[in-house]
Amino acid sequence: DAKTTQPNSMESNEEEPVHLPCNHSTISGTDYIHWYRQLPSQGPEYVIHGLTSNVNNRMASLAIAEDRKSSTLILHRATLRDAAVYYCILRDPYQSFGNEKLTFGTGTRLTIIP
Protein backbone atom coordinates (compact mmCIF):
# COMPACT_ATOMS: atom_id res chain seq x y z
CA ASP A 1 0.00 0.00 0.00
CA ALA A 2 1.17 3.51 -0.71
CA LYS A 3 2.07 5.33 2.50
CA THR A 4 1.17 8.72 3.87
CA THR A 5 3.17 11.08 6.07
CA GLN A 6 1.52 13.55 8.43
CA PRO A 7 2.84 15.80 11.19
CA ASN A 8 2.34 14.28 14.64
CA SER A 9 0.57 17.32 16.04
CA MET A 10 -0.69 20.79 15.19
CA GLU A 11 -2.28 23.63 17.09
CA SER A 12 -4.69 26.25 15.89
CA ASN A 13 -6.70 29.06 17.40
CA GLU A 14 -10.42 28.75 17.64
CA GLU A 15 -12.35 30.27 14.73
CA GLU A 16 -9.23 30.34 12.56
CA PRO A 17 -8.74 28.21 9.43
CA VAL A 18 -6.68 25.05 9.82
CA HIS A 19 -4.60 23.42 7.10
CA LEU A 20 -3.65 19.82 7.79
CA PRO A 21 -1.00 18.51 5.36
CA CYS A 22 -0.47 14.99 4.11
CA ASN A 23 2.36 13.74 1.91
CA HIS A 24 1.86 10.70 -0.28
CA SER A 25 4.74 10.75 -2.75
CA THR A 26 4.24 7.10 -3.83
CA ILE A 27 0.54 7.49 -4.62
CA SER A 28 -0.63 5.59 -7.67
CA GLY A 29 -2.75 7.13 -10.39
CA THR A 30 -5.87 5.35 -9.14
CA ASP A 31 -5.52 5.83 -5.37
CA TYR A 32 -8.23 7.89 -3.74
CA ILE A 33 -7.30 10.17 -0.82
CA HIS A 34 -9.56 9.78 2.19
CA TRP A 35 -9.61 11.68 5.47
CA TYR A 36 -11.08 10.39 8.69
CA ARG A 37 -10.96 11.94 12.13
CA GLN A 38 -11.21 10.49 15.60
CA LEU A 39 -12.64 12.63 18.36
CA PRO A 40 -11.52 11.82 21.93
CA SER A 41 -12.85 8.48 23.15
CA GLN A 42 -14.83 7.89 19.95
CA GLY A 43 -14.54 5.80 16.83
CA PRO A 44 -13.18 7.34 13.64
CA GLU A 45 -15.58 9.23 11.38
CA TYR A 46 -15.38 9.97 7.69
CA VAL A 47 -14.52 13.54 6.73
CA ILE A 48 -13.93 13.76 2.99
CA HIS A 49 -12.30 12.06 0.03
CA GLY A 50 -11.09 12.94 -3.47
CA LEU A 51 -9.11 11.75 -6.46
CA THR A 52 -7.74 14.71 -8.42
CA SER A 53 -9.95 17.74 -8.07
CA ASN A 54 -10.44 19.77 -4.93
CA VAL A 55 -13.51 18.74 -2.95
CA ASN A 56 -15.80 20.52 -0.54
CA ASN A 57 -18.43 19.27 1.87
CA ARG A 58 -20.14 20.55 4.98
CA MET A 59 -17.27 19.47 7.20
CA ALA A 60 -14.16 20.48 5.30
CA SER A 61 -12.37 21.05 2.01
CA LEU A 62 -9.73 18.86 0.44
CA ALA A 63 -7.04 20.48 -1.70
CA ILE A 64 -5.04 18.04 -3.83
CA ALA A 65 -1.74 19.02 -5.39
CA GLU A 66 -1.53 18.89 -9.16
CA ASP A 67 1.01 16.04 -9.03
CA ARG A 68 -1.12 14.34 -6.33
CA LYS A 69 1.90 13.77 -4.13
CA SER A 70 0.40 15.81 -1.34
CA SER A 71 -2.96 17.01 -0.12
CA THR A 72 -4.31 19.37 2.50
CA LEU A 73 -7.42 19.07 4.61
CA ILE A 74 -8.85 22.51 5.31
CA LEU A 75 -11.13 23.30 8.22
CA HIS A 76 -12.40 26.75 7.39
CA ARG A 77 -13.25 27.88 10.90
CA ALA A 78 -12.03 25.56 13.60
CA THR A 79 -14.10 25.08 16.73
CA LEU A 80 -13.26 23.28 19.94
CA ARG A 81 -15.29 20.34 18.65
CA ASP A 82 -12.75 19.89 15.84
CA ALA A 83 -10.04 18.82 18.28
CA ALA A 84 -9.26 15.28 17.13
CA VAL A 85 -6.72 13.03 15.46
CA TYR A 86 -6.95 13.39 11.68
CA TYR A 87 -5.97 10.48 9.46
CA CYS A 88 -5.03 10.73 5.80
CA ILE A 89 -5.58 7.37 4.08
CA LEU A 90 -5.04 6.15 0.54
CA ARG A 91 -7.48 3.63 -0.89
CA ASP A 92 -6.77 1.50 -3.93
CA PRO A 93 -9.83 0.60 -6.00
CA TYR A 94 -8.05 -2.46 -7.33
CA GLN A 95 -7.53 -4.12 -3.97
CA SER A 96 -8.40 -7.78 -3.78
CA PHE A 97 -12.11 -8.40 -3.51
CA GLY A 98 -13.24 -7.93 0.06
CA ASN A 99 -9.91 -6.61 1.25
CA GLU A 100 -11.21 -3.09 1.71
CA LYS A 101 -9.55 -2.29 4.96
CA LEU A 102 -8.57 1.20 5.94
CA THR A 103 -4.86 1.48 6.69
CA PHE A 104 -4.49 3.93 9.53
CA GLY A 105 -1.21 5.62 10.36
CA THR A 106 -0.75 7.61 13.55
CA GLY A 107 -2.39 10.74 12.13
CA THR A 108 -2.14 14.38 13.21
CA ARG A 109 -3.41 15.36 16.64
CA LEU A 110 -5.11 18.74 16.25
CA THR A 111 -5.40 20.93 19.33
CA ILE A 112 -7.69 23.94 19.22
CA ILE A 113 -6.75 26.84 21.46
CA PRO A 114 -9.72 28.82 22.82
Site residues (CB under 8 A) for another protein? 30-32, 41-46, 49, 51, 87, 91-93, 95, 97-107
How crowded is the C-beta side of 79, counted as CA atoms within 13 Å? 4
Q: 7 or 93, CB closer to another protein?
A: 93
Q: 13 or 52, CB closer to another protein?
A: 52
Tell the smallest beta-carbon distance from residue 31 to another protein (Å). 7
Tell the smallest beta-carbon distance from residue 111 to another protein (Å). 15
Tell the smallest beta-carbon distance from residue 48 to another protein (Å). 10
How crowded is the C-beta side of 38, counted as CA atoms within 13 Å? 13
d(CA 57, CA 34): 13
